Structure 1
Amino acid sequence: MNGTSEIKVGSKVILKVGRNAVEVEILKAMADGDAYWVKSIASGKEFMMPSARIKVPTVSIEPVEEQEEAPNPAPECTTAPKKEKKLSLMDAAVEVLKQSGEPMNTREMVKAATDSGLWIPTDCKTPEQTLYGSIFREMKIKENPRFVKSSVKGKFEYAG
């Protein structure tokens, strides 16, 4: 037991209830001495607490003198620097094609995007195939796709 001999009726202690520390006042000790009838200071609820549940040593809590609260000055307006947004593989592939100016296949685009730091590889096992499917989907759906098929088989060019 954590100092249960120091617990007296009328004393204020902190009890461990679940993950919370609750400030309570001891109202009475039960006949067997293994439990206490307590009242929560915060909520006013009364309940029985086994002495084995007292996890925090007893603490005498004295009232704190209230201090005048100074008005909180307005916080200074500071804009935190924005984090650079990482590009998706599609956007990184567009940037790679713009920079190179040459037709590339998806394997070359993925390698160039990772080497230049435009795209960080994820847990995707086949980024080349994912990029390939995304390019064809964009060419089929969008009115002005960013990619066009190259005259070289399996390669794409920037449509800019």
Structure 2
Amino acid sequence: MSALDAAAEVLGRLAKRDAVTGMSVKILIERMEKAGLWKSAGGKTPDATLYSAIIREIKIRRSESRFRRVSPGKFTLAVDANKKGYSKKTESKR
């Protein structure tokens, strides 16, 4: 599973109150590893890499992005990410 897919999975599990405030990338990485969804390849800054990937998806996909930035450094799932049924087919259209 890619880091972006794992991040979307973790954010999808958030309680409603937590989804409003979002989650920092550092905590996202901790939860992704704890849940066994993703493991860092040993890089020095996996949080910076994930942050960059999320920002890139938001910028490129705009309304189709799975993520939404709620404050500096914090992200949540886009409101309709679950309704749209984001899939690998959509991801490969880059």
Provide TM-score, normalisation by structure 2.
0.72
The answer as to 2:48 corresponding to 1:129 is: yes
Deviations 1:66-97 (A, max 9, x none): xxxxxxxxxxxxxxxxxxxxx11111000000
User: Percent of aligned pairs with the same residue?
Assistant: 38
Unaligned segments of structure 1, at least 5 residues: 1-86
- The 5 A counterparts of 1:1-160 are 87-101=1-15, 102=18, 103-143=22-62, 144-150=64-70, 152-159=71-78, 160=81
Unaligned segments of structure 2, at least 5 residues: 82-94
Give me the whole-angstrom Cα distance separating, in 1, the residues matched to 2:53 and 2:59. Answer: 10
Deviations 1:3-25 (A, max 9, x none): xxxxxxxxxxxxxxxxxxxxxxx
Count of aligned positions: 73
RCO higher in structure (CA 8 A, sep ≥6): 2
Task: Identify the residue that residue 84 of structure 2 maps to in structure 1.
Answer: none
Between structures 1 and 2, the one with greater helix share: 2
Letter in 1 for 2:26: R
After TM superposition, where is structure 1 displaced by more than 6 Å over at least 4 residues in a row?
none
Between structures 1 and 2, the one with greater strand share: 1
Structure of larger gyration radius = 1
Task: Identify the residue that residue 22 of structure 1 maps to in structure 2.
Answer: none
Deviations 1:102-134 (A, max 9, x none): 210100100000001001221221110000000
